[in-house]
Structure 1
């Protein structure tokens, strides 16, 4: 045997407990690598009804908004967006922000709602600590294989996604803490009730007065409460909600730009194009082409 050369063999425990529910494996929906140069084109306010979104900050820093609260993020942070949780990013606060992002479905963790990795009261930002490099390599491998021209990588990527979920649960189990900001005052709860109404009706012809009438609240007070709680005026929030939903439809469907404009509440497609370009940084059709990559 050569001097200074050793071989160490490691063995699996046979009685480990799985985080995953029996008979159900997570499925990968998409993987993205977002570089700082692309972060100037924000993924505006949106949620996923049947998917979980996971982001890893590879380098840099910024601000991410999850369920009405702003969080400062930096290298090594993981942002967990459970299904049906609205999330947003603030591109004005990004400093050389580079991330990986994976969306998954059919995630069933024992003790959690479907497509959820954290409890509702938990902080959605956790640090990867000593597992950062492992997590970065795993998410990078998923993205590389899915984006490559290598045929039939979908099954490989799906199994890697199962490993990703298991690794994340290990990290979360060690670091998950209750977020004190999730405890709301009566004032904040009113703001959230207004937001819930808008989230249900954002694709309708809403006005400040129509929202006030529906909520039986003075329009001035409603606008004040909403801005204090959510950070945007009601009408600006509606616009961001519509643009965010249109981004999702551009990425995940084959609807035309005109159809998408109608779906999210804009009767005039030209007005929709102007707003989309103003807030995203490029027209809807260019966004669709630049954001998605189809295999031949």
Structure 2
């Protein structure tokens, strides 16, 4: 994996400003694992060359040259290179901005191969400006980002609105990190309230405001995601998986899993196994 990352930190940045955070140019060389991750900012991902797959939450999409992927904050995703030439791409991180699509999804993939607008020009220009940092590069980057977003409006057949992305409070961010790391423990809202030194009702309100889900529902969602990963990648029994994910019992896992995924944990494991064998 060869990656060159450049950071953008203008001195006049103000809170809630739509800001270009970073740009990177990467080329997959088979020397790193593709691990799902998320960012606190919106990411624009443009494929320069090659082909592969883009994983967003539980969905897998084929991608190739001149595909653009938009991923809103806090959405798990990763990319996988397939075949030759290897996947090569630009990424641009944008803070203070979210894309609101008509179907309420938190991501979108655009096929730009047949579009007349050369989006690659804008990604390359932002990267080059950050790389060289010649006089006035900050303003050029800001304007390039504005133009890039305007070009997206022109080419997309999926209309979107731009909404200001609020930053979570320090306490909410700390609680989210705690839940991500300690989901296997017995956690209650009272426990989270004590950790954050916030009234539990206020904590629940603030957490929901920033993340769109209450802390306990987020915890349950996290546990189901852990169950999915263990079902797909290990041979642990269902009762063991329930324990590792912090669920009280196998029956509670079954109830929660069916409600979340529309199928039993056993059927989910069989389905994923068949897909792996087919690939």
- Report the TM-score, using the length of structure 2 for normalisation: 0.52
2:149 maps to 165
Shift of 1:44: 2.1
- Indicate which of 97, 103, 113 corresponds to 2:87: 97
User: Is the 2:44–2:93 contact (alpha carbons within 8 Å) kept by the matching residues of 1?
Assistant: yes
CA distance in 1, matches of 2:155, 2:20: 20
Q: Give per-residue Cα distances to partners, 1:165-188, cap 9 Å, x unaligned.
A: 22223222x2569xxxxxxxxxxx
**Gaps spanning 5+ residues in structure 2: where?**
1-15, 161-217, 227-239, 258-264, 274-279
Shift of 1:227: 4.2
Return closer, same or farther for 1:140/1:215 CA change in 2, 3 Å cut-off: farther
Q: Is 2:32 the counterpart of 1:41? A: yes
Q: Is 2:187 the counterpart of 1:196? A: no
Return closer, same or farther for 1:40/1:80 CA change in 2, 3 Å cut-off: farther
CA RMSD of aligned residues (A): 3.7
User: Is the 1:29–1:105 contact (alpha carbons within 8 Å) kept by the matching residues of 2?
Assistant: yes
2:186 maps to none
User: Is the 1:47–1:83 contact (alpha carbons within 8 Å) kept by the matching residues of 2?
Assistant: yes
Shift of 1:79: 1.1
How many correspondences in the alignment? 179
CA distance in 2, matches of 1:226, 1:143: 42
User: Is the 2:242–2:250 contact (alpha carbons within 8 Å) kept by the matching residues of 1?
Assistant: no
CA distance in 2, matches of 1:211, 1:68: 20
User: Is the 1:64–1:70 contact (alpha carbons within 8 Å) kept by the matching residues of 2?
Assistant: yes
Return closer, same or farther for 1:138/1:217 CA change in 2, 3 Å cut-off: same
143-152 vs 208-217, greater mean Cα deviation: 208-217
1:6 maps to none
Shift of 1:52: 0.5
Shift of 1:136: 0.3
CA distance in 1, matches of 2:84, 2:74: 25
**Gaps spanning 5+ residues in structure 1: where?**
1-23, 108-114, 178-191, 201-206, 233-296
Shift of 1:83: 1.2
Return closer, same or farther for 1:42/1:163 CA change in 2, 3 Å cut-off: farther
- Report the TM-score, using the length of structure 1 for normalisation: 0.50
CA distance in 2, matches of 1:217, 1:43: 30
Q: Give per-residue Cα distances to partners, 1:98-121, cap 9 Å, x unaligned.
A: 1111110112xxxxxxx2253434
